Amino acid sequence: MYSYLLFLLVLIPFLALSAWASAKVNTTYAKYDRVPNRAMMTGYDTAVRLMHNRGVTDIAVNRVGGRLTDHYNPSRKQVNLSQSTFGSASVAAVAVAAHEIGHVMQKKKGYVPYKIRNILVPITNIGSRLALPVILVGILLTALWELPYGEWTVYAGIGLYGLSTLFMLVTLPVEFNASRRAKKMLVEDGILSEDEVRGASKVLSAAAMTYVASMLISLVYFLRFALVFLSLLGRSRRD
């Protein structure tokens, strides 16, 4: 009971941070979505120009449903811009569009954290599904048959679960780097002036905070998960 209360005391501030970050990105985007950029470039125009000026000709720019659902799909060679970004000529829209092109350039330039994150995607998906079954098998092997490798099976399961936290950790430099690339490209290509970039920076910084909050929450859950099952493993060995 005490350990669970401690878990909640640690988790609640990070949940509050996550809620604040989500609200902040929405309010910041809404604020700068009302500010048209002087070049009158839409999100679509921005994505196309930034890629064209950097020799990227094989990536399609599509419109997708929703608000702030923008993403880059490298396997399909698509930059998907949300309805709130695609046709809008606001400072916020071009900032978000440029951020996605930042990911395109990361792939083109071979940015190492981006490569690592892409490698982790399928491994993390598999690991999150297998973690609990593997841990339970390990505990049973230890408790029922006292097999020496049961303990290592538990450790392996905890490691599989931890891949999601590792993925979130690697995501942070990827997202921050994409935003830095975005701001630099917007100025280089004359889409935003220096004073307009300050607004774009606020939009991108607010979005980045959601990733920080998600990583912290993931870390807290991982530590709780590991402690619970290590405790169960300890009890099974004593019994």
pLDDT > 70 fraction of the chain, expressed in percent and rounded: 90
Q: Which tokens belong to 107?
A: 């792939």
Is the confidence at residue 70, as pLDDT, over 90?
yes
d(CA 9, CA 6) in angstroms, rounded, equals 5
What's the rounded Cα separation, in Å, for the pair 104 and 219? 28
194 catalytically annotated = no
- What is the helix (H) or strand (E) element at residue 170, kind and residue range? helix 150-188
**8 Å CB contact between 70 and 81:** yes
Average pLDDT value for residue range 148-168:
82
**Reported confidence tier of residue 12, pLDDT bands at 50, 70, 90:** very high
Instruction: Note the pLDDT of residue 170.
Output: 95
The enclosing H or E element of 82 equals strand 78-82
Query: Which amino acid belongs to residue 140?
Result: L
Residue extents of the structural domains in the chain:
2-238
What angle do the packed helices 91-109 and 43-52 form, to 10 degrees? Answer: 30
In this predicted structure, what is the pLDDT of residue 85?
A: 96
pLDDT greater than 80 at residue 179: yes
For residues 162 and 123, the answer to whether their CB atoms sit within 8 Å is no
Q: Which of the following is catalytic: 100, 151, 175, 196?
A: 100
Global confidence as pTM: 0.86
pLDDT tens column, 186-211: 999 999 999 999 999 999 999 999 99
